[in-house]
């Protein structure tokens, strides 16, 4: 079976928050390097964590999604995360993918919106997203997954077909 890639939609919010966070980290690193480190014993390494934070977040960027048999592959910068489609009970298109969700753990805008979320209606959810706008909610019996492809309808159709769910 051939697989097709569905690029992740990059939202304006992600671009703005990523740029702001990167500039902030580099600014803090610069202040620590030139102002604080010379005055503190052993302070020559204080600038390193904020300078490296953007680089540490980059590998987790969501580039897109690929349906491969009964597996959804979330394409990252350097690797793929896999989600089994076995047990998938519903694929819902949502005009605002994150409506009603609160982040419990993860990255909230430093090159992606990924990690754990919780919502009263949905319960526990995992996000692999790059936009706060339109997206997909994949419902499993005990959890949910949020995705934000550029073509939600096309990916929803492919996911339904791969998991044996009826077309809507």
Q: Which residue segment(s) compose the domain that 117 sits in?
A: 59-163
Q: For residues 18 and 85, state if they share a domain.
A: no
Q: For residues 14 and 45, state if they share a domain.
A: yes
Q: For residues 120 and 38, state if they share a domain.
A: no
Q: For residues 127 and 85, state if they share a domain.
A: yes
Q: For residues 156 and 111, state if they share a domain.
A: yes
**Number of domain units in the chain:** 2
Beta strands in the chain (DSSP E): 4-7, 62-68, 71-76, 80-84, 90-94, 102-108, 113-119, 123-129, 135-139, 144-147
Contact 50, 110 (CB under 8 A): no
Query: How high is the mean pLDDT in each 10-residue block of the chain (168 residues)?
Result: 85 96 96 89 89 94 96 96 96 94 92 95 95 96 96 96 88
Q: For residues 20 and 72, state if they share a domain.
A: no
**Whole-number percent of the chain with pLDDT over 70:** 98
Inside any domain, residue 120: yes
Q: What is the mean pLDDT of the chain?
A: 94
Question: For the whole model, what pTM was predicted?
Answer: 0.90
């Amino acid at each position: 079976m051939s697989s097709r890639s569905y690029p992740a939609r990059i939202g304006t919010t992600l671009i703005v928050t990523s740029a702001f966070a990167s500039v902030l980290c580099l600014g803090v690193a610069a202040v620590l390097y030139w102002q604080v480190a010379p005055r503190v014993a052993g302070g020559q390494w204080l600038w390193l964590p904020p300078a490296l934070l953007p680089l540490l977040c980059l590998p987790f960027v969501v580039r897109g999604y690929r349906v491969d048999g009964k597996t959804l592959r979330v394409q990252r910068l350097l690797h793929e995360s896999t989600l089994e489609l076995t047990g998938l009970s519903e694929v819902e298109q949502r005009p605002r993918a994150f409506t009603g969700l609160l982040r419990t753990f993860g990255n909230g805008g430093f090159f992606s919106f990924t990690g754990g979320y919780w919502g009263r209606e949905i319960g526990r959810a995992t996000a692999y997203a790059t936009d706060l706008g339109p997206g997909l909610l994949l419902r499993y019996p005990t959890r949910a997954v949020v995705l934000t492809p550029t073509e939600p309808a096309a990916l929803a159709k492919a996911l339904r077909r791969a998991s044996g769910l009826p077309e809507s």
